[in-house]
Amino acid sequence: MHWCPKCETALAGYETTDSYKNVSDPSVVVMFPVSGRTEEYFLVYTTTPWTLPANVAIAAHPEKMYVRVKTARGVLILAKTRLGLLDRIGLSYEIVEELLGKDLDGLRYLSLLDVPVQRAVAQETGALRIVMSIRFLKQRVASKVGMKKDVETGDLFEDFVTDEEGTGLVHVAPGHGKSDNVVGKKYGLPEASPVDDACCLTSDAAPFAGKFVKDADHDIAQHLHAIGRLLHFERIEHSYPLCWRCKSPLIFRLSNQWFISIEPIKEKMLSDNENVLWQPSFAGERFASWVQGAEDWNFSRQRYWGAPVPIWMSEDGSEQLAVGSLDELRSLSSEALPLDFDLHQAGDVVLRSPSSGKLLRRTPDIFDVWFDSGSAPHAALGYPFQSKAVFESHYPVSRINESQDQVRGWFYSLMFCGVGIHGKAPYAAVSMPGWVVDSNGEKMSKSLGNIISGNDAVEDLGADPVRFYYCWDGAPYQLMRFNVETVRSEVTRFFTILWNLHNLVLQGSARLGSQSPKEAPALEDRWLLSRMESVVAEVRSAFDSFELQRAGRALYGFVVDDVSRTYVQYARERLEYDASPLAIVAQCLRKVTILLAPISPHLADQVYLDLGPVCGAKDSVHLETFPVADRTDVDLEERFARVGEVIAAGLACRDKVKRGVRWPCKELIVTTDDDALRMAVEQRADLVCRQVNVRAVTFRDVSTTISVKPNYRALGKELGERTGDVLTAFASAKERVSAEFSRGAQEVVLAGVAVPRALFAIEEHPPESFALA
Ligand SMILES: [Zn+2]
């Protein structure tokens, strides 16, 4: 286990993956004497001299080439590819023999250190000899991830020994390394671990006993130097795991811990994850590959505070009992528990085994807090003792929402516990809010001075605008650039228009009375009411799918474009004499406030209450039921949008010749090949005439003329030194070029060069007294 010397507890694998740091460690090459030879040594490299008292074997790669070399320090054995090491330290050598790693298999050597643990190891058969390297599963590649990244699918392996680093001979200490432990198990080697909970060497490593392992490094190296077994010593910087709590370097040591086996549920976790909606989606793949590579869960910790592990054991460890409830504890207790028994005292209760009659005491371990996080939903409802039906009706929950660092944390612990207990995923959707960064996409930091605190933003801009901004600017799971100016301009615009529309209704309310709107006769009325229902549907689906930005945008578009810019304009004349358009606006605003209430609760409530006398209201908008979309007329909306384009083009013509809409014009000519557009406009000709203020809308072609001017810059860039000739030719061929482009030609030939249309500025001109848009 990885173990923190300061916290004196084990850490699970996922607790170490994020907290690596470069640290300085000794880097030593030591000489193990070959058994039965004089002055002959196996060279071994290590960065943890403190593990040398726990050495039980040396591993070599069977297929790699090794050499015996004669040197001033005796005959040394190492991988042939690693001879550079001797060059580097200035030790001259002569190769005596080349041999394969497998030729070394089984050769014995002598202990490097004369310490009690080594004397014990030397008694074990099979220890202190050369063993052959084995292959390890390095990474399981989920087939889906593999395919996406275009890498070979399947698992990745690596060798315990390579001839690319160190000396090609690897010190094996199964008590102090994960892969060493696998090698040790494979060859039946002893597991020496002369290190206590505080990570000090024990009396088994005397004379180094009592030393903190990292301090012992130096003493051991010095001792080896004194007895002539140290070939080289230097310090190196390398990446090393630290404790996330206290930042102490972690030590690998053997300790007895509790594990939950993942293999029985791993496949189910992976297959259920396929059905979880991950937002953003890449997180789902990241999660799958994390689960794919996950190992058994070490859930026990040696800390004081925490939920006690409810396992009782016999003195000799042969019997173990997990207690699942207070009733069970009472029935197993060796003494009767009082009626008001406090569960905090459970740790002191001694049980009597129902099968053997042995006394059982509770293990002093507590749970990994991540286990708490995975089981919290059960604990919160008292499941399975209370609220069983409530819990089950909420399982799986529809959504959980947390930051992206929880892929290996809470999302994982929930999935593990959920699938482990109930056999199915505990959640249907996972969303991970994106980080908030500044308007340039830079992380907010004190040193950059670009931090905007949430409180300041709310104070400065108002809670409602800030909240609206977050439900409009981008998807909640994307990186969120916070731009104060956008809130000030765009969001304020939306709020102002909404407020002005509400004023419009209030000012006209005398005319409205308490009369509800009559059945909407006018086309634009039907269109707006249909649009309103489409917006209800869109906002609902946006909330359901956690695409909040779609909700904000739908409301923005409806209020600013549909109601204010389009409908109020279209109905402007009617507003003078007819109360029904105002009633329709009031009805729409009322619905808008209900849709807006979860986003901008204060403004929504104010507008809603103000409109109360006009269209009825409860005590607050927040008491309303969220609306469900009524029938919409999609076809009408589509045609209306097209008619809107024609009206906009008509108004643009007026702008071009600076003729205000009060001045009637004779004719709006629409030139189109699109029959659907023609039909839509013909059916709504009255509306178009009224809006553009023309006497008639007609459909026909108008012969326009075009003017062609060279785009000098583009021509020069494209044609280089031929530009001059082309321009001269153009000057005398303007008519022809214009005619060709009018017919739709994509290039013209000038001075023998085919010149593309894009290199000219071409303008279309209508006949006299017409404007074109
Ligand atoms: Zn620690």
Please tell me the predicted confidence (pLDDT) of residue 518. 55
CA 187 to ligand 1 centroid distance, Å: 33
| CA of 301 relative to ligand 1 center, distance in Å | 12
In-domain check, residue 439: no
3-state secondary structure of 3: strand
* Ligand 1 center to 119 CA (angstroms): 33
**3-class secondary structure, 755:** strand
248: CA distance to ligand 1 center in Å? 6
pLDDT beyond 60 at 514? no
Q: Ligand 1 centroid to 363 CA: how many Å? A: 22
Longest alpha-carbon distance in the chain: 117
pLDDT class for 718, splitting at 50, 70, 90? Answer: confident
**pLDDT for res 498:** 97
Q: At which of 615, 632, 649 does a domain end?
A: 632
How does residue 144 score in pLDDT terms, banded at 50, 70 and 90?
Answer: very low
- Looking at the fold, whether 740 and 758 belong to one and the same domain comes out as yes
Distance 307 CA to ligand 1 centre (A): 19
Better-scored residue on pLDDT, 659 or 489 = 489
**371 CA to middle of ligand 1, Å?**
19
Residue 443 resides in a domain: no
Predicted confidence band at 139 (pLDDT cuts at 50, 70, 90)? low
- Evaluate whether 406 touches 415 at the Cβ level (below 8 Å): no
In which band, very low, low, confident or very high, does the pLDDT at 476 lie, cut at 50, 70 and 90?
A: confident
Distance, CA 523 to ligand 1 centroid (Å)?
72
Report yes or no on 449 lying in a domain: no
Ligand 1: centre distance to CA 249 (Å): 8
In a domain, 143, yes or no: yes
- pLDDT range class, residue 254, cuts 50, 70, 90: confident
> Rounded to an integer, what distance in angstroms lies between the CA atom of residue 488 and that of residue 476?
20
Domain count, the chain: 5
Please provide the average confidence, as pLDDT, over all residues in the chain.
Answer: 90
Query: Does 456 reside within a domain?
Result: no
For position 74, which CATH number holds? 3.90.740.10
Query: How far does the centroid of ligand 1 lie from the alpha carbon of residue 731, in Å?
Result: 83
Distance 7 CA to ligand 1 centre (A): 4
Q: Which among 229, 255, 281 is the end of a domain? A: 255
pLDDT tens-place string over residues 3-46: 999 988 888 777 777 778 888 999 999 999 999 999 999 999 99
CATH number of domain containing 589: 1.10.730.10
If asked whether residues 141 and 276 sit together in one domain, one would say no
- Give the other-Cβ count within 10 Å of 592's Cβ: 24
- The CA 300 to ligand 1 mean position distance, Å, reads 15
Which has the closest alpha carbon to 764: 746, 738, 745, 725?
738
Please indicate, yes or no, whether residues 603 and 684 belong to a single structural domain of this protein: no
Whether the per-residue pLDDT at 321 is higher than 70: the answer is yes
CA-closest candidate to residue 430, choices 275, 540, 268: 275
Same domain, 729 and 645: no
Ligand 1: distance of its center to the CA of 25 in Å? 19
Q: Inform me whether the pLDDT recorded for 516 exceeds 60.
A: no
Could you tell me the distance, in angstroms and rounded to a whole number, from the CA of residue 250 to the centre of ligand 1?
8
Looking at the fold, whether 242 and 280 belong to one and the same domain comes out as no
Q: Are residues 684 and 713 in the same domain?
A: no
φ/ψ (deg, to 5) at 356: -105, -15
Question: What is the whole-number distance in angstroms between the Cα of residue 550 and the centre of ligand 1?
Answer: 45
Q: Which pLDDT score, from 0 to 100, does residue 141 have?
A: 53
**Least confident stretch, 101-105, 164-168, 317-321, 516-520:** 516-520
Element of type H or E holding 469: helix 463-470
Is residue 632 within 8 Å of 527, Cβ to Cβ?
no
pLDDT recorded at residue 716:
87
pLDDT at residue number 435: 83
Non-local (6+) Cβ contacts of 262 within 8 A are 294, 295, 296, 297, 416
Helices 723-731 and 712-719, interaxial angle, to 10°? 130
Which range marks the domain in which residue 7 is found?
A: 2-255
- Cα–Cα distance measured from residue 643 to residue 557, given in angstroms and rounded to the nearest whole number: 18
Helix, strand, coil % over all residues of the chain, rounded to 5:
45, 20, 35
* Residue 521, pLDDT score: 65
Q: Please, what's the b/e burial string for 559-568 (b: 16 or more CB within 10 A of its CB; e: otherwise)?
A: bbebbbebbb
Span 537-557, average pLDDT: 94
How far is ligand 1, taken at its centre, from the CA of residue 104, in Å? Answer: 41
Q: Are residues 206 and 298 in the same domain?
A: no
d(CA 159, CA 44): 17
Distance 631 CA to ligand 1 centre (A): 62
163 assigned to some structural domain: yes
Backbone angles phi, psi at 26, to 5 degrees: -70, 150
Query: How many A from CA of 733 to the centre of ligand 1?
Result: 85
How far does the centroid of ligand 1 lie from the alpha carbon of residue 190, in Å?
28
Whether residues 71 and 116 share a domain: the answer is: yes
Q: Does the pLDDT at position 150 exceed 50? A: no
pLDDT for residue 403: 87
Residues 695 and 723 in one domain: no
Burial bucket for residue 7 (CB in 10 Å: 0-12, 13-18, 19+): middle
How confident is the model over 84-88, as a mean pLDDT? Answer: 94
With 0-12 / 13-18 / 19 or more C-beta atoms within 10 angstroms meaning exposed / middle / buried, residue 760 is: buried
Q: 317: which DSSP letter?
A: S
Claim to verify: residue 382 and residue 419 sit in the same structural domain: yes
Question: How many angstroms is it from 305 CA to the middle of ligand 1?
Answer: 14
- Same domain for 483 and 581, yes or no, is yes
Distance 255 CA to ligand 1 centre (A): 16
Whether the per-residue pLDDT at 765 is higher than 70: the answer is yes
Q: How far is the CA of 48 from the centre of ligand 1 (A)?
A: 19
What was the pLDDT predicted at 506?
92
CA of 240 to the centre of ligand 1 (A): 14
Q: What is the pLDDT of residue 734?
A: 86
Pair 357, 495 in one domain: no
Alpha carbon of 199 to ligand 1 centroid (Å): 12
The CA 8 to ligand 1 mean position distance, Å, reads 7
Distance 28 CA to ligand 1 centre (A): 27
Residue 151's pLDDT band, with cuts at 50, 70 and 90, is very low
d(CA 187, CA 59): 11
- Residue 444 within a domain: no
Distances (CA, A) of 254 to 54, 178, 239, 294: 11, 10, 22, 20
Q: For position 145, what pLDDT does the model report?
A: 44
The pLDDT of residue 146 is above 70 = no
Q: Which residue type is seen at 609?
A: L
Structural contact between residues 319 and 360, judged by C-beta atoms closer than 8 angstroms: yes
- Catalogue the long-range contacts made by 323-326 (C-beta closer than 8 Å, 24 or more residues apart): 323/351, 325/385
**166 found inside a domain:** yes
pLDDT at residue 81, as a whole number: 96
Answer with the one of 579, 613, 632 that is the final residue of a domain: 632
Centroid of ligand 1 to alpha carbon of 11 (angstroms): 9
Ligand 1 centroid to residue 242 C-alpha, Å? 8
Which pLDDT score is estimated for 143?
A: 47
> Cα of 326 to ligand 1 centre, how many Å?
33
Confidence of residue 513 (pLDDT cuts 50, 70, 90): low
In this prediction, residue 478 carries a pLDDT of 84
Buried b (16+ CB within 10 A) or exposed e, 605-615: bbbbebbeebb
348-397, pLDDT tens digit by residue?
Answer: 999 999 999 999 999 999 999 999 999 999 999 999 999 999 999 999 99
**570 pLDDT exceeds 80?**
yes
| Spatial CB neighbours of 575, under 8 Å, sequence gap ≥ 6 | 508, 568, 581, 582
Ligand 1 center to residue 4 CA distance, Å? 5
Q: What does the pLDDT read at residue 519?
A: 52
